[in-house]
Amino acid sequence: MQNIRNFSIIAHIDHGKSTLADRFIQTCGGLSEREMEAQVLDSMDLERERGITIKAQCVSLDYKANNGEIYQLNFIDTPGHVDFSYEVSRSLQACEGALLVVDASQGVEAQSVANCYTAIELGLEVMPILNKIDLPAAEPERVAQEIEEIIGIEATDACQVSAKSGIGIDELLERLVEEIPAPEGDPDAPLKALIVDSWFDSYVGVVTLVRIIDGSIRKGDKMQIMSTGRSFGVDFVGIFTPKREDMPVLECGQVGFIIAGIKEIDSVKVGDTITLQDNPADEVLEGFKEVQPRVFAGMFPVEADDFENFREALDKLTLNDSALQFEPESSTALGFGFRIGFLGMLHMEIVQERLEREYDLNLITTAPTVVYEVLKTDGNIIQIHNPSDLPEVNYIEEIREPIIQANILVPQEYVGNVISLCIEKRGVQTNMQYMGAQVALTYDMPMSEVVLDFFDRLKSVSRGYASFDYEFKYFQESKLTKVDILINSERVDALAVIVHADASQRRGREVADKMRELIPRQMFDIAIQAAIGRQIIARSTVKALRKNVTAKCYGGDVSRKKKLLEKQKKGKKRMKQFGRVEIPQEAFLAVLKVDS
Amino acid sequence: MPEFTILPPLSLYIHLPWCVKKCPYCDFNSHTYDSGLPEDEYINALISDLEYQLPTIWGRRIISIFIGGGTPSLFSAESIHKILSTVRSHLNCLPDMEVTMEANPGTVEQNKFNGFYQAGVNRLSIGVQSFDDKKLLALGRIHNADESYNAVAVARKAGFENINLDLMFGLPDQNLQQCLSDLQQAIDLFPQHISWYQLTIEPNTFFYNQPPVIPEDDDIWEMQQQGQQLLAGADYLQYEISAYAKNNQQCKHNLNYWQFGDYLALGAGAHGKISRADTGEINRYWQIRKPADYMQASVENKTSGRESIKTDQIIFEFMLNSLRLKQGFEIQTFEQNTGLNVSLISTRCEQAIAEGLLQRKGESYAPTERGYLFLNDLINLFS
pLDDT in tens, B238-297: 999 999 999 999 999 999 999 999 999 999 999 999 999 999 999 999 999 999 999 999
- Nearest residue of A to residue B254, measured between CA atoms: A555
Q: Is the Cβ pair B320, A559 closer than 8 Å?
A: no
Residue of B79 and A153 predicted with greater confidence: B79
Q: Is the Cβ pair B265, A556 closer than 8 Å?
A: yes
Dihedral angle sign, alpha carbons of residues B14, B16, B17, B21: negative
C-alpha pair distances (Å), A61 with each of A7, A29, A74, A415, B349: 12, 8, 6, 43, 69
A residues 493-522 near B, CB within 8 Å?
Answer: 521
C-alpha pair distances (Å), B229 with each of B183, B237, B240, B282: 11, 10, 15, 40
Q: Is the Cβ pair B374, A555 closer than 8 Å?
A: no
Task: With H, G, I as helix, E, B as strand and everything else as coil, classify residue A397.
Answer: strand
> What pLDDT does A52 receive?
44
pLDDT tens track for B191-200: 999 999 999 8
Spell out which residues of chain A touch residue B242, defining contact as CB-CB under 8 Å: 551-552
Report yes or no: A523 at the B interface, CB cutoff 8 Å.
Answer: yes
Cα of A362 to nearest chain B Cα, Å: 20
Residues 6 or more apart in contact with residue A364 via CB below 8 angstroms: A299, A300, A301, A302, A334, A337, A494, A574, A576, A585, A588
Region of A18 please: left (phi>0), alpha (psi -120 to 50) or beta: alpha
Q: Is the Cβ pair B376, A560 closer than 8 Å?
A: no
> What pLDDT does A56 receive?
47
ipTM of predicted assembly, 2 dp: 0.87
Q: Is the Cβ pair A549, B320 closer than 8 Å?
A: no
Q: Count interface pairs A-B at CB distance under 8 A.
A: 85
Spell out which residues of chain A touch residue B13, defining contact as CB-CB under 8 Å: 555-556
Domains of chain B: 10-256 (3.20.20.70), 310-383 (1.10.10.920)
Cα of A524 to nearest chain B Cα, Å: 11
- Nearest residue of B to residue A521, measured between CA atoms: B217
Cα of A567 to nearest chain B Cα, Å: 11
Task: Indicate whether B6 pLDDT > 80.
Answer: yes
> What pLDDT does A173 receive?
92
Cα of A543 to nearest chain B Cα, Å: 10
C-alpha pair distances (Å), B359 with each of A580, B334, B343, B368: 21, 16, 16, 6
Task: With H, G, I as helix, E, B as strand and everything else as coil, classify residue B185.
Answer: helix
> What pLDDT does A207 receive?
87
Q: Nearest-CA neighbor of B267 among B11, B10, B17? A: B17
Report yes or no: A554 at the B interface, CB cutoff 8 Å.
Answer: yes
Task: With H, G, I as helix, E, B as strand and everything else as coil, classify residue A509.
Answer: helix
Amino acid B49 reads: D
Q: Is the Cβ pair B380, A565 closer than 8 Å?
A: yes
Q: Nearest-CA neighbor of B25 among B175, B132, B134, B135? A: B135
In this structure, of A350-359, A481-490, A523-532, B359-368, the range with the lowest mean pLDDT score is A350-359
Amino acid B27 reads: D
Pairing relationship of beta strands A125-131 and A58-64 according to DSSP bridges? unpaired
Cα of B314 to nearest chain A Cα, Å: 11
Report yes or no: A580 at the B interface, CB cutoff 8 Å.
Answer: no
Count of residues in chain B: 383
Cα of B372 to nearest chain A Cα, Å: 8
Mutation site, B326, B374, B382, interface A, largest A CB count within 10 A: B374
Cis amide linkage into residue B70, ω under 30° from 0 = yes
Task: Indicate whether A556 pLDDT > 90.
Answer: no
DSSP character string of B324-341? TBTT-EEHHHHHHHH-S-
The DSSP letter of residue A306 is G
Cα of B221 to nearest chain A Cα, Å: 7
H or E stretch covering A311: helix A307-320
Strands, DSSP E only, in B155-301? 163-169, 193-198, 237-240, 243-245, 262-266, 271-275, 282-287
* CA–CA separation, A436 and A146 (whole Å): 6
DSSP character string of B116-130? HHHHT--EEEEEEE-
Q: Is the Cβ pair A561, B320 closer than 8 Å?
A: yes
Are A435 and A152 within 8 A, CB to CB?
A: no
* CA–CA separation, B58 and A376 (whole Å): 85
Dihedral angle sign, alpha carbons of residues B50, B51, B54, B59: positive
In this structure, of A257-266, B142-151, B214-223, B287-296, the range with the lowest mean pLDDT score is A257-266
Residue of B83 and A90 predicted with greater confidence: B83
Whole-number average pLDDT of chain B: 95
Residue of B167 and B209 predicted with greater confidence: B167
Spell out which residues of chain B touch residue A523, defining contact as CB-CB under 8 Å: 370, 374, 377
Cα of A572 to nearest chain B Cα, Å: 12
Residues 6 or more apart in contact with residue A175 via CB below 8 angstroms: A127, A159
Residues 6 or more apart in contact with residue A392 via CB below 8 angstroms: none
Report yes or no: A573 at the B interface, CB cutoff 8 Å.
Answer: no
> What pLDDT does B172 receive?
94
Q: Is the Cβ pair A568, B284 closer than 8 Å?
A: no
Report yes or no: A560 at the B interface, CB cutoff 8 Å.
Answer: yes
Task: Indicate whether A593 pLDDT > 80.
Answer: no
pLDDT tens track for A304-331: 889 999 998 898 887 767 678 888 988 8
Q: Among B197, B257, B373, whose Cβ lies nearest the Cβ of A555? A: B257
Residues 6 or more apart in contact with residue B68 via CB below 8 angstroms: A555, B13, B14, B15, B16, B102
* CA–CA separation, A277 and A285 (whole Å): 16
Cα of B286 to nearest chain A Cα, Å: 9
The DSSP letter of residue A416 is H
Report yes or no: A549 at the B interface, CB cutoff 8 Å.
Answer: yes
Report yes or no: A202 at the B interface, CB cutoff 8 Å.
Answer: no
Q: Is the Cβ pair B376, A554 closer than 8 Å?
A: no
Measured in degrees and rounded to the nearest 5, phi and psi for residue A529 equal -130, 145
* CA–CA separation, A482 and A504 (whole Å): 8
Which residues, in sequence order, are bridge partners of residue A483?
A497
CB atoms within 10 A of CB A122: 14
Interface of B with A (CB under 8 A): 13, 27-28, 66, 68, 197-200, 202, 217-218, 220-221, 224, 241-242, 254, 257-258, 263, 265, 270-273, 284, 286, 316-317, 320-321, 324, 370, 372-377, 379-380, 383
Residue of B217 and B66 predicted with greater confidence: B66
Spell out which residues of chain B touch residue A559, defining contact as CB-CB under 8 Å: 271
pLDDT tens track for A389-417: 899 889 999 999 999 999 898 889 899 99
Q: pLDDT class for A237, splitting at 50, 70, 90?
A: very high
SS3 letters across A509-572: HHHHHHHHHHCCCCCCCEEEEEEECCEEEEEEEECCCCCCCCCCCCCCCHHHHHHHHHHHHHHC
Spell out which residues of chain B touch residue A550, defining contact as CB-CB under 8 Å: 200, 241, 375-376
Strands, DSSP E only, in A412-495? 428-435, 438-446, 467-478, 480-487, 490-491
H or E stretch covering A90: helix A85-92
